[in-house]
Amino acid sequence: MCALLLVPAIAAAQDQRAMLELVVNRVSAGESLVIIRGADALVPLTGLTQAGLTGFKGRRETVGDQEYVSLSSLAPDLSFTIDELDLRLNITATPDLLGRTIQDLWSGAPANLVYRRDTSSYLNYSANWHTGNHADLFAESATSFRGASFYNTLSATDHSATRGLTSVTIDRRKSMQRWTLGDSLAYSGALGGDAWIGGISVSKEFSINPYYVRYPTLSLSTPIAVPSVMEVEVNGQVVSQQHVAPGRLDVRNLPLTIGRNDARIIVRDAFGQTRELSSTYYMTSSALAQGVHDYQYNFGFRRLGIGEKNWDYRVPVLLARHRVGLTNAVTAGGRLEVQPGRLLSGGPSFNFRVPFGEIETATSVSRRDNEWGKASLTAFNYSGRPISAGGSIMLASRQYTTLTPNPLNEDPAVQTNLYASASLGSPLSLTMQHSQTRMHQGLRRERSTLLASIHLHRNVELTASAARTHDEHGRGREVYAGLTVLFGKASATVSQTHDIRGNRMGVDAQQPLPVGAGYGYQLHVEDGATDIATGIARFQGQHGRYEVRQETVGTQTTTTLSTMGSIVGIGGGLYATRPVQQSFALIRVPGVEGVRAFSSHQEIGKTGRGGDVLVPDLQAYYGNILNIADGDIPIEYAVADAGLTLAPPFRGGAVAHFDVQRVQRVLGRVKVTIGHEEKYQQYGELTVTAANGRSYGSPVGSDGTFYFENLPTGTYAAVMEYRGTRCAFQLVVPPAADMVLDLGTVRCTADGGQ
């Protein structure tokens, strides 16, 4: 019995303790106290977890106040060797014991993105004068205040003025939700209708966060045994290359394009061995990611006669649609339209993401004036390289109806659309399209088209098309051939056309407007039964856009003169600029004139007398890159940062403030009075404090000299201290244009000196 009790003590006496370096799969993980027991090694639990090992069990025992794990009990998932010469414990573990490394390739929003919304307003205008002394005006205004946008449009002619759309919009950025009170366009989805209503609308608006991933993306996983280099390819392009540690590697949100994508992960380990993981994935633009909702709910009074009548609000209506991603492959939804007492229409819809494309199905029933109708839709789309194809078919009974008006009294029974395209090498692409509509009224319309495009040269493209039509006017053929040549930003096209109007030759030339100031033009000339010539000349300046348009058809010529621009109020000032698009920003370089400003690296203007320049065409909620040319800033100024990534609000503006400091050196000499003696202070520290609490310091030289860099104009509470000597006084820095301001001698009396 005593011998049995002595066995554990003898075993414990044989334990050897050593401080060893832990190396896990060739990666150093620090040092740890290791107990060596024969062919086994016991390592503290905390040491293994700090080394990155997870999910293991094994035999454990407590030594002192620490829990140790037997490495031999973790076989076969783990093996080890001890290097006595280098005092190293080499551990080789399977990737499953090394946890997960997540590499998310979705860049998301820029790290330095600034969301900013300032109280602002703009008034867009377009004034036009036409031949015959006729004029018209269109105006659009919006005011952004504390997250709400107040919007209104107005059109006017020689005889009348008509209100267009009026609304208040509130965007909730975190939930990507948009509330609209007033006029809005409601649409209920596939097989549904649309209507302008005056009322309340709430919708999911993904553009509020353009970096949000709403469609399902591809993620891949692979084990990594030793330190390696990972290379990710998508459609033959390298999108990421990084060093990765051992463990389970999860690569998420690969950057894909809509349609078929071929992805590869290539792993090259430290021994030169290469492994490859490949996958084919179809990226859809209709199926939502699991758990993502897309919806729009509209309730109000239907509005008719927009642009013609001011307040023509009729019957109450409700339009609603809602979709949700049940899985990454299946999205379910539904739609509803209600006009109380007269119309009810609605039904379910489904979107499917499949390996070879995307499928949409929808069905709907309607009831109007005690008549029931039904409709169904099936569509398929595949986008790939080098072939894309798809089509849709819609069937509807004659009684099926929605809120969309039907002024022509044409009720489609069957609508079919088919298309296919192929890229036959880099220079040639072909597209075939066919559409057919059969009406309940007996009408039938068909159109079949073949389009070919050939890149003859880097700047030369040949386009040709042939179409066959069949409708209530009979059968017809259309043929087109055109040669386009690019000249930098400009282009010219010579074409020949044959259609119902006969044979005619056309010449087109155009150059688009630049981002900033500059000009553009558009010219079209064609012969035939009736000669046509149209010319447009445009000029865009910092304060507006101007256009001259002349059109000649036969012997009739009309001329239109247009001026377009905007008056913007933001940052305490009014600015004349080009028409505002979605959002805008005021670049402010306080007090510095003539500094070039850039939007997305394109010059958009120079700062004016007050140091401001307005950028009228930014994307709402998107990270717009704004810069200033710091080389244009005079030498007496310094700017901390010449770039900013700014996200302005929808129909609103933000101030992009570039803080410049006037470079001015302030110097002087301190003379201290101690008792009856006055002398220049030798050494010490001078501290001045502004009214806002900000302090500045300067050493005092052997002759009492002090020196401050960029000390703003103002009055400061000053304190000079040195080896028990202390005196307080006021330091006044007056305004000055010179880069060096010499205050001369300033005096103070030491505490206790009088």
Confidence of residue 596 (pLDDT cuts 50, 70, 90): very high
Say if residue 514 is preceded by a cis peptide, omega within 30 of 0. Answer: no
User: With bands split at pLDDT 50, 70 and 90, how would you rate the model's confidence at 230?
Assistant: confident
Residues 87 and 16 in one domain: yes
**Residues 117 and 242 placed together within one structural domain of the fold:** no
Give the number of other Cβ atoms within 10 Å of residue 237's Cβ. Answer: 8
Statement: residue 3 has pLDDT above 50: no
Residues 651 and 695 in one domain: no
The mean per-residue pLDDT over the stretch 275-292 comes to 90
**What is the model's pTM?**
0.80
Helix, strand, coil in percent for the chain, rounding step 5: 5, 65, 30
Give the pLDDT confidence score for residue 127 in this predicted structure: 96
CATH number where 91 lies: 3.10.20.410
pLDDT over 70 (residue 7) = no
Q: Report residue 265's pLDDT band, with 50, 70 and 90 as the boundaries.
A: confident
User: Torsion angle, CA of 619/622/628/629, rounded to 10 degrees?
Assistant: -100
Let me know how long the chain is.
754
Reported as a single tens digit per residue, the pLDDT across 663-695 is 888 999 999 998 888 999 999 999 999 988 889
Q: Which of 188-192, 251-255, 579-583, 726-730 has the lowest mean pLDDT?
A: 251-255
Tell me which DSSP letter residue 631 carries. G
732 forms beta bridges with 715
**146 in the same domain as 73:** no
The pLDDT-based confidence of 400 (bands split at 50, 70, 90) is: very high
pLDDT at site 479: 96
> Please, which pLDDT band fits residue 653 given cuts at 50, 70 and 90?
very high
For residues 122 and 47, state if they share a domain: no
Which pLDDT does position 752 carry in this prediction? Answer: 61
1 confidence band (pLDDT: 50, 70, 90): very low
What is residue 720's predicted lDDT score, i.e. its pLDDT?
A: 93
Whether residue 369 has pLDDT greater than 90 = no
Return all residues near 301 (Cβ < 8 A) that are at least 6 apart.
Answer: 197, 198, 199, 313, 314, 315, 316, 317
Structural domain boundaries, residue 256 = 217-283
Q: Does residue 112 share a domain with residue 228?
A: no
pLDDT of residue 550: 95
The enclosing domain of 232 has a CATH number of: 2.60.40.3110
pLDDT in tens, 176-219: 999 999 999 999 988 999 999 999 999 999 999 999 989 988 88
In a domain, 164, yes or no: no
**Residue ending a domain, choose from 611, 639, 661:** 661
Which band of pLDDT confidence, cut at 50, 70 and 90, is reported for residue 6? very low
Final residue of a structural domain among 609, 644, 661: 661
In a domain, 344, yes or no: no
CA distances from 483 to 202, 366, 433, 501 (A): 48, 50, 22, 21
Q: Please tell me which residue, 113 or 751, carries the higher pLDDT value.
A: 113
Residues 653, 551 share a domain: yes
Query: Does pLDDT of 2 surpass 50?
Result: no
Q: Is 360 among the domain residues?
A: no
pLDDT at position 375 is 96
Q: Compute the mean pLDDT over every residue in the chain, rounded to the nearest whole number.
A: 90
Return the CATH number at 721. 2.60.40.10
Give percent of the chain with pLDDT exceeding 70: 98
Residues 403-415 have pLDDT tens digits of 988 877 888 999 9
Asked whether residue 80 falls in the same domain as residue 124, the answer is no
Tally of domains in the chain: 5
* 194 inside domain: no
Any domain includes 377: no
Helix segments in 33-170, DSSP class H: 45-50
pLDDT of residue 81: 93
Whether residue 336 is contained in a domain is answered as: no
pLDDT tier, 598 (very low <50, low <70, confident <90, very high otherwise) = very high
pLDDT > 90? residue 50:
no
Any domain includes 550? yes
pLDDT of residue 656: 94
Residue 70 has pLDDT above 80, yes or no: yes
590 and 697 in a single domain? The answer is no
Query: Is there a domain that residue 731 lies in?
Result: yes
Examine the domain organization and report whether 150 and 10 are in the same domain: no
Q: Say yes or no: 650 and 675 in one domain.
A: no
What is residue 10's predicted lDDT score, i.e. its pLDDT? 41
Q: Where a domain ends, among 661, 679, 707? A: 661
Domain containing residue 643: CATH number: 2.60.40.2610
Structure confidence at residue 478 (pLDDT): 94
Mean per-residue pLDDT, 10-24: 77
Statement to judge: residues 575 and 449 lie in one domain: no
Rounded mean pLDDT, 292-309: 92
